[in-house]
Amino acid sequence: MADQTTPSSTDVHPTGTTRHPVDERLPALRTATSGLQHVAAMYAGVVAPPLIVGAAVGLSPADLTFLTGACLFTAGLATFLQTLGVWRIGARLPFVNGVTFAGVAPMIAIVDSTEDKHDALPVIFGAVIVAGALGFLAAPFFSKAVRFFPPVVTGTVITLIGISLMPVAFGWAQGPDPTAGDFGSTTNLGLAGATLVIVLLLRRFTRGFVKQIAVLLGLVAGTLVAVPLGAADFAPVADAAVVGFPTPFHFGAPQFQLAAIVSLCVVMVVSMTESTADMLALGEIVDRPADERTIAAGLRADALGSALSPLFNGFMCSAFAQNIGLVAMTRVRSRYVVAAGGGFLVLMGLCPMAASLIAVVPRPVLGGAGVVLFGSVAASGIRTLVGAGLDRDNNVLIVAVSLAVGIVPITAPEFYHAFPETARIILDSGISTGCLAAVALNLVFNHIGQGQDADDVTHPMEPGERIAGPREDTAPGAVPGQSAATAR
């Protein structure tokens, strides 16, 4: 939970009413710099899918740049929908949206199965439009799952989000290209370590505004350190155009193929599951718990952003969990800050040269900052679990098994290699599998057949032969067989 004692945690209107920190409007400079931090934290995640899919299609460098800019532009529009909202669309939380990485493998499969590669992107765009439209209609029904997310579930999922993102930070720290000779070199790891140290020092020894933009300052400082080492490449800035607009249907009109639609509908379900978990996590962090209505509105924004994205040559949009870590660390909870980040994304989509400035930041530098950001998410999950009743043995089992299931794709990436590709879309997402496991186990242990209280079950590490008899921790005045906790 975010610290409520922060001096700027409330904003008082002239009428005397108090505005929640999520709805607080910060000074322009602070809003802009904090918004840039969000862009820096999620930029690599936004541009990676179009770069991978574009390369699979065989796009020219010019078209690849165009596709990347289009995805930045549509990510900004989707972020506007999510943060500012319109009607019943948008969670109105500091929630960043961008291209979901869950769709990369299915989109590559679509490319591989398309005879004429020129038709691959139109087929993908058509499938995204249908999946987004169906997701929009399903949002209010999907949101009813919020009742199945008590603290023991949300804490587990939040922790898994942070843990699942850590390999991304470690991958960035090693370098941008796993096939390169300097991948994982001491130079790259040193840059990541230096950036991490700079961010930590800024967080420890500075105050106020400077402390809140420590990540942005760390990225700038890390990039400056990388320049004399030859690890920063400014060529993209020189080669980029000043102005560019994502012309609608630049790669052709959408095509609708059933197999591709089914594949990306599965991705939409996965994205909605992760977005639900992310909204619950963010709601806890900003002290505005996400209820059923908020989740429905947030899922509508995800789905509508996805359905409109192909119009401007973009892919499916979803929540970006890494930005939750930034909110948790900086405690800047204003949704208008994230909306400003969405504005920067739109500008970068319209100005390739501006987009290239963010691209200058070396991947190892991003990795060093990512350790702080993603670790903050996991820490927020642990904080939620502390108040989730882990003194109850059933809850311990729920957390233990759910974390284990969610960590499988991280520790054993090929664990599900024998499963069908469609199933692997879900199974290879530790957040999705861990979330589903936590929800299912919570139902089994805490809801279905509650004839026996959870406190009457021995700890999983203890022998169970004395369950029916008096327990050694019987409290004064308790009946035989009743635990101390139950007696209280």
User: In Å, how far are 68, 72, 91, 449 from 131, measured between CA atoms?
Assistant: 21, 20, 20, 37
- Whether 228 has a pLDDT exceeding 80, the answer reads yes
Contact 286, 152 (CB under 8 A): no
- C-alpha dihedral sign at 178, 183, 189, 192: negative
Q: Tell which residue, 379, 384, 342, 336, has the closest CA to residue 93.
A: 336
The pLDDT score that the predictor gives to residue 439 is 87
Q: Taking residues 45-71, what's their average pLDDT? A: 80
The pLDDT score that the predictor gives to residue 225 is 92
Rg value, the chain, Cα? 24
More confident residue, 254 or 260: 254
Write out pLDDT tens, residues 334-390: 999 999 999 999 988 888 776 666 667 788 988 898 888 778 778 878 888 888 888
Contact 280, 147 (CB under 8 A): no
Burial of 211 (0-12, 13-18, 19+ CB in 10 A): middle
The pLDDT score that the predictor gives to residue 479 is 38
- Whether 462 has a pLDDT exceeding 70, the answer reads no
- Using alpha carbons only, what angle is made at residue 357 by residues 352 and 363, rounded to the nearest 5 degrees? 115
Q: How many CB atoms lie within 10 A of CB 229?
A: 12
The pLDDT score that the predictor gives to residue 209 is 67
Contact 301, 91 (CB under 8 A): yes
The pLDDT score that the predictor gives to residue 356 is 65
Q: How far is CA 337 from the centre of its chain?
A: 17
- Whether 229 has a pLDDT exceeding 80, the answer reads yes
- Whether 22 has a pLDDT exceeding 70, the answer reads yes
For residues 403, 406, 411 and 412, what is the CA-based torsion angle, rounded to 10 degrees?
Answer: 130
- Whether 309 has a pLDDT exceeding 70, the answer reads yes
Contact 405, 437 (CB under 8 A): yes
Q: Tell which residue, 124, 135, 133, has the closest CA to residue 263.
A: 124
Phi, psi of 105 (to 5 degrees): -60, -45
Tell me if residue 200 falls in helix, strand or coil: helix
Contact 370, 144 (CB under 8 A): no
More confident residue, 362 or 455: 362
Lowest mean pLDDT among 250-254, 307-311, 361-365: 361-365
The pLDDT score that the predictor gives to residue 335 is 93
Tell me if residue 280 falls in helix, strand or coil: helix
The pLDDT score that the predictor gives to residue 457 is 40
Kindly give, in sequence order, each residue whose CB lies less than 8 Å from that of residue 157, ignoring residues fewer than 6 positions away.
149, 277, 280, 281, 381, 431, 434, 435, 438
Q: Taking residues 276-294, what's their average pLDDT? A: 86
| Band of pLDDT at residue 487, cut at 50, 70 and 90 | very low
The pLDDT score that the predictor gives to residue 189 is 94
Burial of 144 (0-12, 13-18, 19+ CB in 10 A): exposed
The pLDDT score that the predictor gives to residue 254 is 92
Q: Taking residues 447-461, what's their average pLDDT? A: 50
Q: Tell which residue, 159, 166, 168, 165, has the closest CA to residue 402.
A: 159
Q: Tell which residue, 99, 103, 105, 101, has the closest CA to residue 127.
A: 103
| Band of pLDDT at residue 449, cut at 50, 70 and 90 | low
Lowest mean pLDDT among 41-55, 122-136, 305-319: 41-55
Q: Taking residues 218-239, what's their average pLDDT? A: 83
More confident residue, 187 or 145: 187
The pLDDT score that the predictor gives to residue 450 is 62
Helix boundaries (H) for 99-184: 104-113, 120-142, 151-174
More confident residue, 261 or 463: 261
CA pair distance 11, 416, nearest whole angstrom: 50
The pLDDT score that the predictor gives to residue 357 is 67
| Band of pLDDT at residue 308, cut at 50, 70 and 90 | very high
The pLDDT score that the predictor gives to residue 122 is 93
- Whether 453 has a pLDDT exceeding 70, the answer reads no
Q: Taking residues 145-168, what's their average pLDDT? A: 80
| Single pTM value for the model | 0.66
The pLDDT score that the predictor gives to residue 20 is 87
Q: Taking residues 473-480, what's their average pLDDT? A: 40
Tell me if residue 58 falls in helix, strand or coil: coil
Lowest mean pLDDT among 80-84, 353-357, 423-427, 432-436: 353-357
The pLDDT score that the predictor gives to residue 81 is 92
Pairing relationship of beta strands 18-19 and 97-99 according to DSSP bridges: unpaired
Q: Tell which residue, 157, 146, 147, 227, has the closest CA to residue 187.
A: 227
Averaged pLDDT score across all residues of the chain: 80
Lowest mean pLDDT among 11-15, 77-81, 259-263, 471-475: 471-475
Percent of the chain with pLDDT over 90: 23
Q: How many CB atoms lie within 10 A of CB 370?
A: 27
CA pair distance 43, 39, nearest whole angstrom: 6
Q: Taking residues 89-100, what's their average pLDDT? A: 87
Q: Taking residues 254-274, what's their average pLDDT? A: 82
- Whether 102 has a pLDDT exceeding 60, the answer reads yes
The pLDDT score that the predictor gives to residue 400 is 94
The pLDDT score that the predictor gives to residue 425 is 66
Tell me if residue 37 falls in helix, strand or coil: helix
The pLDDT score that the predictor gives to residue 236 is 67
Pairing relationship of beta strands 317-319 and 18-19 according to DSSP bridges: unpaired
Q: Taking residues 208-218, what's their average pLDDT? A: 76
